[in-house]
Structure 1
Amino acid sequence: MSKVTILCLHKITDEHFPSWPGMSIKTFEKLLKFISKNYEICLPSDVKENVIKKQLILTFDDGFEDFYYNAFPLLKKHNIPAVLNVVVNCIKTDYQIWTQQLNDTLDAYAKESKGFEIQIGEDTFEYNINIENAEKLALEIFKKLLSLTTEKRELIVFKLEEEAPTKINRTKMMNTKQLKEVSDAGILIGSHSLSHPNLKIEDNQSEFLKQELSESKTQLEKILNKPVEVFAFPNGMYSELGLELAKEAGYKYLLLVDNDIAEFKHKKELKVLDRILIYSNNHYKNIFRINNFHNKIRRWLK
C-alpha cells in the first residue's frame, strides 16, 4: 500500500464570485511550483510502491471553462499531469449543475444586498445576503440543500432564480471540443456523473445510480475514443451501493472528498481514494492542507 496525496480543485479564475470565490491564477501557479518541488506528481495509473519522494495526484472537478483558459496553460507550462472530472450533461449541452446554479443565483442577490426566504418542509429560513457574507451563507444553504432529493432541491433553486433581483451571470462550462483538446494533450478525463446529483441520497434508486455511473462513462468514451477509468462522486457523496455499481460499470479509480491522505492499495482491482479539497487564495493555508496538518491537529485534539 502507498500513501498518496490527492488534491481536489475546482475554479481557477481571477473573476470575483462572492458566493464561491475561485482560486486566483497567481495562487494556482504558486501551488503548482510548490507541489512540483516537493512531490512526485503522477496520474493514478502511475502510482508506485516504495518510493522515496512523496506522490501527489492533482484533480479538478466539474469541468468549468476556466480550466481550459487558466489552469490548462499553466499545467502545460510546468509539465504537470492532472485529472479532470467532468459532468457529461454540461459538456454536451447548456446544462448547469445545481451547485453552480445556486452560487450564480446567490451572487445576483448578494450584489443587490437582497434578502430572501427558503422553505424546506415546514421550516422557513430567512437570509440577508451581501457581498461580504455571501460565501458563508452560500455554504450554509448548500449544506441544507445537499440533503434533499433532486426534485425538492430543484424546486427551491428554480424559485430563487425566478425571484432574482438582477440578471444572473451563468458560469461557463467546457465543451466537447475543449475536452478533446485537453485529453489529447495528456489530461486524464474522468466522469463526475451525468448531472451532478447527490448519489448518496438517491441510492434507493439503483437504476438512477446505474445511469449516472454507466451512461456518463459510455458517453465520455464515445466523445474521447478512450477508456474512462476514473469516477469522482459529486460533492464526495457516496454509498456502498454506489461503490458497488461503480465497480460493475468498469471504473478502476473512485475519488471521494473526505479530506485525508489516500491509501493506494496496489493489489486491489478497484481503488477507492480520498482527496483533500484545496480552495483558498491564501497560499500558506493551501500548504497547510496539502501537508494534511488539518487532520493531524484534529487527531491530536482528540
Structure 2
Amino acid sequence: MFSVIMYHHINSDDLPLSNSDTMMDAHLAYISDHFTTLFPGDPITPGSICLTFDDAYYDFYHYVFPLLKKYNLKAILAVPSAYILEDTEIAPEQRLSLKHHEIYDGDNYKTYAPFCTYTELREMIQSTHVVIASHSMHHVNLSEDSVDLEQEIFGSKVVLEEKLGYRIESFVLPYGKYNNAAVALAREHYSYVFRIGNALNPSWEGIGGLIYRVKGDGLKTADELFNPFKQMGYWFKTMIKMLKGSR
C-alpha cells in the first residue's frame, strides 16, 4: 500500500485548501527524511509516496517548486489547461494577490496570471522534479449533464501535449466529482486517473481503476498525515473500498 497526497494552495486566504509556506517547508523536509517520492508508474517500494498539487496556481511555482528542488522530491501538478498563459510579465506580488474565490472570475486569469504559465511548466518539467497531469480544460464538475466530457477530458490532453511537447499520462478529477461516463473516458485516454478519497492504494491501478488521494491541506503539524491514528483511518477506508470493489 502507498499514499498519494493531495494539496492545493500555499498562503491562500482559503485555509481549508491551503498550507503556509513554512508548514509546507517543514512537511516536505519530513517527507524527504522518511519517504521516497514517486511519479505515476514508478516502482512501488516500502516508504513510497506520491505528491499531487491541484490547479497549477502560481503559488506552486513560487513556493513549492523551490522546495522540491531543495529536498530532491517529485510531484504531480494537475493543470486546468484553459487558464494557462504562454508567459507573463506580471509581478509575483500581483500574481499572488487574488483571494481564492476571485481566481476564476471573468478574465482575472489573464489580468493577474494567478496560474503557472507554459514557460514555467516547461521549466518544471525539464527539472525532472515535476510531471504534468490534466485537471480538465475548465476545472468543472464532470458529473453535470451540461459538461462536454470529450473537450474537458480529451481536449485538455491535446492542448497540454501540443503546448508542452510532452506526453500527458495522468488525469485528476476536478472536485472529486465524476460519473461512469467521465471515468470511462478518462481511463480510455490516460494511464492513471486520480480522485479524492482519503484511502491508500495497493498499486497504480488504485481501487476500481481510480487512484485515491489523502487530503494534505490545512496541516497542523509537519507529520500529521503519518501519525498512527490517521494511518489507521486510511487503512480502514481502503479495506472497505477494496471489499466493495468500488470507486
TM-score bucket of the superposed structures, by smaller chain: 0.7 to 0.9
The answer to whether the aligner puts 1:282 opposite 2:220 as a matched pair is yes
Residue in 1 that maps onto 2:244: none
User: Which of residues 48, 66, 70 is equivalent to 1:77?
Assistant: 70
1:19 and 1:37, CA in 2 relative to 1: closer, same or farther beyond 3 A? closer
Instruction: Please give the per-residue CA displacement for 1:83-125, whole angstroms capped at 9, x wherever unaligned.
Output: 00011011138xxxxxxx99435xxxxxxxxxxxxxxxxxxxx
- Does the residue aligned with 1:46 lie in a helix, a strand or coil? coil
* Corresponding residue SS for 1:183: helix
Query: Which residue is equivalent to 1:61?
Result: 54
8 Å Cα contact 1:20-1:103 kept in structure 2 = no
Contact 2:200/2:235 (<8 A) preserved: no
Partner of 1:118: none
Matches within 5 A, 1:127-146: none
Aligned pair partner of 1:209 in 118, 142, 149? 149
- The alignment covers a number of residue pairs equal to 221
Q: Aligned-pair RMSD on alpha carbons? A: 3.2
User: What's 2:186 paired with?
Assistant: 246
Residue 189 in structure 1 maps to residue 153 in structure 2: no
Query: Which residue of 7, 10, 22 maps to 1:9?
Result: 7
**Superposition deviation, residue 20 in structure 1:** 5.0
CA distance in 2, matches of 1:229, 1:290: 33
CA distance in 2, matches of 1:262, 1:30: 25
Q: 1:280 to 1:18 in 2, by over 3 A?
A: closer
Are the aligned partners of 2:198 and 2:237 in contact in 1 as well (CA < 8 Å)?
no
Unmatched runs of 5 consecutive residues or more in structure 2: 87-97, 239-247
User: What SS does the aligned partner of 2:152 have?
Assistant: helix
The answer (yes or no) to whether the contact 1:25–1:70 under 8 Å persists in 2 is yes
1:17-96 residue pairs with structure 2 within 5 A? 17=13, 22-48=18-44, 51=45, 53-92=46-85
Partners in 2 of 1:85 and 1:290 — Cα distance? 29
> 5+ unaligned residues in a row in structure 1: which ranges?
94-100, 106-153, 159-168
Whole-Å separation in 1 of the counterparts to 2:211 and 2:61: 25
Distance in 1, matches of 2:228 and 2:138, equals 29
Identity of aligned residues (%): 26
Q: 2:163 aligns with which of 223, 226, 240?
A: 223
1:188-224 Cα distance to aligned partner (Å, 9 max, x none):
000000001111223x75xx01110011000000111
Matches within 5 A, 1:169-184: 172-184=114-126
How far apart are the structure 2 equivalents of 1:200 and 1:289? Answer: 35
Rg comparison, structure with higher value = 1
Q: Does 1:104 find its partner at 2:101?
A: yes
The equivalent of 1:138 in structure 2 is: none
2:84 counterpart SS class: helix
Q: Indicate the residue corresponding to 1:126 in structure 2.
A: none
CA 1:37–1:217 in 2, change beyond 3 Å: closer, same or farther? Answer: same
